[in-house]
Chains A and B, each alone.
Chain A
Amino acid sequence: MTSSDPFAPVLDIQDLHVDFPTGEGAVHAVRGVDLQVAPGEVVGIVGESGSGKSVTALSAMGLLPRQARTRGGVRVKGQEVLGVGERALMGVRGRTISMIFQDPMTSLNPVYSVGWQIAEALRAHQKLTKAEAFERAVQLLTLVGIPRPRERAADYPHAFSGGMRQRVVIAIAMANDPEIILADEPTTALDVTVQAQILEALKKALEETRAALLLITHDLGVVAGLADRVVVMYAGRAVETGSVDDIFYRPGMPYTVGLIGSLPRLDSDGTERLRPIPGSPPSLVGDLQGCPFAPRCPMRVPEICDLEEPALRPVASQEAGPHLAACHFADKVASGAAGPIFAATSADLSEPALAEGAP
């Protein structure tokens, strides 16, 4: 609406910092994230719980909790959303940018029919009569694959399964043809059998609206199937970004290597063990020194890694588009010269195999 350049990013996050004050000091949930999503692009954000990926998405919607302290800039189609009042966000939310949340069981208001809830989203941004909005809601329900949509539109959320509710949430997200949809772990709370169907519905929504998608997940499989580009987050920062191919086949950051290593693969001969990452992410209270992944990293060189936090830098071996990684030894990791980084552990070993790596 405001931007005339058709190639300008629909979502532009510049050096975003988000802190949550707590009794024990501020939690630095996001520590300087830069992220651009081009029109129609599908970007995946992967990372563990607490890596700051959900907080990043909520910032883009202006939905952070009131006590959050933010710094940096988040622009949606050229309009700043950080630190802007609820009223000013009305025109952006739902129309330019919309969001699908993690838990479909609690995302819908239990006291209104699903048709009502979709119609509410439509009427917030389009001049429609109630009857027209209802008709459009039925169409949307059809699109996301709800059987007998006309009858089901009058039903209340409790009469729907988790998967069906998530379809309704997708219908709400696509109601006003947004430029970008944020999906925060849209399949995590669902049965494995339903996950694929929801991803299908999501793809359908993208085809229909030609919106860009920011897909947040800890499931690398989902990202591999859907995303054009991947951002790996760790301890509140992006630690690696690149094309799906670069990330999966030429990762430049040991953490990414670890994430991929802890995935079962169909293309191996089946005798390989999974390679888990030992330890857990650092506390984000107070200041971090050095590379936040260093305590868990098998490649740690204390004189370097413990002193300086590596910046996101281009990796030498990039093939498809820009490939950046935040590791002092990114080139070595990406070229494969480092050999297997994580030790395969047997399933019954609960403690990390790397004694010196543990904090």
Chain B
Amino acid sequence: MLAYIIRRLAYSVVVLFLSTVLVFVLVAESGDPLAILRSNPHVSHATIAVREKLLHLNLPLWDRYWYWFSHAIRGDFGQTIAYQPVGQQLWQHFGVTLRMVILATLIATVAGIGMGVFAALRNGRVGDRASMTLNFLFLSIPTFVIGLLLKEFVAIPLNQHVNRIVFYTSGEQSPTLTGGFFSRLPDYAAHTALPVITLVLITYSAWAIYQRSATLDAIDSDFVRLARAKGISPGRVLTRHVVRNALIPVTTVIALDFAGVLGGAIVTEQVFNWQGMGTWFIQGVSTLDINIVLAYLLITAVFVIGFNLLADILYAVLDPRIRYD
């Protein structure tokens, strides 16, 4: 087991390193951050040269990469084109996004597994058909459409109807917010509800479909038939044999989808005007602010790869066949 974890960990580090190379090349080649400056006839060559030097644009690609990478792993992500430290902005935006993403992943996991098992147990009956129809519907609605629907056709009319703000539709918290954590909590909740619901709805449906299928497979399996033949209670057959085994494949699916949740968060932040990582990233892309883009991609890669590592370990805990490999 330990050997397995160490092997997976080593592999994750290699993937992360290669990922940074790929990302760096992609971003570095995707545009010139000084293009606007260069097109301005009033900016002298000397100024541009100074700027180039500051951003290390005068160095060969590999040296630039190494400079960036060796600093980034020590937590120094360089400066933005407006000479602000990237690291500080990163952690600030990161906290905002994390709040939404972690909450949404947890809820979507419970909802996906729960609905999947429920549908499988009602296989072919009304409950199954209804939940599967709903799942396919949510699967087909792009993130921004769900977000806008919730915002424009649920929250705003509701707020108007009860004549006070139940759900905030813009921003991650009220700008004037003060006080201790617990006194701020209701404000956080009212801001976070809609974005989290949006992310949950676009995420859980695929998981529910997988979970249903895995559960049906388990119900149909020979080992569940043998478990029933032993004369143990139906509840025990369900929890110890059906659900226990059906969780194995779904673990991997959920872990792999974590990147998708982060992608969904970019869109959700746009819809609800959150100053999270996604918004920050899009601003970075449109202003060709290389260090912001790189910092975003690095931190998401760390999280996605870390999440996959976690899933690998969980997988080994759930499935003894992996453990003893």
Q: Is the CB of A101 within 8 A of B232?
A: no
Would you call A82 an interface residue if the criterion is a C-beta within 8 Å of the partner chain's C-beta atoms? no
Would you call B231 an interface residue if the criterion is a C-beta within 8 Å of the partner chain's C-beta atoms? yes
Shortest CB–CB separation between residue B112 and chain A, in angstroms? 21
Q: Is the CB of A90 within 8 A of B231?
A: yes
Q: Which of A91, A98, A111, A156 contacts B229 (CB 8 A)?
A: A98
Q: Which of B222, B231, B324 contacts A93 (CB 8 A)?
A: B231
CA distance A91 to B232 in the complex (A): 9
Shortest CB–CB separation between residue B181 and chain A, in angstroms? 41
Known: A111-B245, A111-B320, A158-B320. A106 touches B230 (CB 8 A): no
Q: Is the CB of B227 within 8 A of A99?
A: no
Known: A156-B321, A158-B321. A107 touches B231 (CB 8 A): no
CA distance A155 to B173 in the complex (A): 54
Would you call B223 an interface residue if the criterion is a C-beta within 8 Å of the partner chain's C-beta atoms? yes
Size of the A side of the interface (Cβ < 8 Å), in residues, is: 32
Task: Name which of A118-126, A217-225, A295-303, A334-342 contacts chain B.
Answer: A118-126
Known: A156-B324, A158-B321. A110 touches B223 (CB 8 A): yes
Q: Is the CB of B233 within 8 A of A90?
A: yes
Q: Is the CB of A109 within 8 A of B223?
A: yes
Chain A 92-109 against B: per-residue CB contact (8 Å), 1 yes, 0 no?
A: 111100110101001111
Q: Which of A94, A111, A159 contacts B318 (CB 8 A)?
A: A111
Q: Is the CB of A87 within 8 A of B233?
A: yes
Residues of A within 8 A of B227 (CB): 109, 120
Shortest CB–CB separation between residue A81 and chain B, in angstroms? 12
CA distance A91 to B230 in the complex (A): 9
Q: Is the CB of B228 within 8 A of A63?
A: yes
Would you call A285 an interface residue if the criterion is a C-beta within 8 Å of the partner chain's C-beta atoms? no
Shortest CB–CB separation between residue B118 and chain A, in angstroms? 16
Chain B 201-240 against A: per-residue CB contact (8 Å), 1 yes, 0 no?
A: 0000000000000000000011111111111111000001
Q: Is the CB of B231 within 8 A of A106?
A: no
Q: Is the CB of B232 within 8 A of A169?
A: no
CA distance A111 to B321 in the complex (A): 8
CA distance A47 to B222 in the complex (A): 22
Shortest CB–CB separation between residue A190 and chain B, in angstroms? 15
Shortest CB–CB separation between residue A199 and chain B, in angstroms? 20
Chain B 231-269 against A: per-residue CB contact (8 Å), 1 yes, 0 no?
A: 111100000110011001000000000000000000000
Q: Is the CB of A95 within 8 A of B232?
A: no
Would you call B319 an interface residue if the criterion is a C-beta within 8 Å of the partner chain's C-beta atoms? yes
**Using a CB-CB cutoff of 8 Å, which residues 113-146 of chain A contact chain B?**
113, 120-121, 124-125
CA distance A111 to B248 in the complex (A): 10
Known: A156-B321, A159-B324. A103 touches B231 (CB 8 A): no
CA distance A90 to B244 in the complex (A): 21
Q: Is the CB of B320 within 8 A of A110?
A: yes
Residues of B within 8 A of A98 (CB): 229-230
Q: Is the CB of A106 within 8 A of B234?
A: no
Q: Is the CB of A111 within 8 A of B232?
A: no
Q: Is the CB of B229 within 8 A of A63?
A: yes
Residues of B within 8 A of A16 (CB): none
CA distance A340 to B228 in the complex (A): 47
Would you call A274 an interface residue if the criterion is a C-beta within 8 Å of the partner chain's C-beta atoms? no
Q: Which of A101, A111, A121 contacts B225 (CB 8 A)?
A: A101
Q: Is the CB of A107 within 8 A of B232?
A: no
CA distance A93 to B321 in the complex (A): 29
Known contacts A113-B320, A159-B324; 5 additional CB pairs below 8 A are: A86-B228, A99-B229, A106-B221, A124-B230, A158-B320
26 residue pairs of the A-B complex, CB under 8 angstroms, read: A63-B225, A63-B228, A86-B228, A86-B234, A87-B233, A93-B229, A94-B232, A98-B229, A99-B229, A101-B226, A106-B221, A106-B222, A106-B223, A107-B225, A108-B223, A109-B223, A109-B241, A109-B245, A110-B245, A110-B320, A110-B321, A111-B248, A111-B318, A111-B319, A158-B320, A172-B230
Interface set of B (CB-CB < 8 Å, partner A): 221-234, 240-241, 244-245, 248, 318-321, 324
Interface set of A (CB-CB < 8 Å, partner B): 61, 63, 86-87, 89-95, 98-99, 101, 103, 106-111, 113, 120-121, 124-125, 156, 158-159, 169, 172, 176
The 9 closest A-B pairs by CB, nearest first: A94-B231, A93-B231, A106-B222, A109-B223, A156-B320, A121-B230, A94-B230, A124-B232, A86-B234
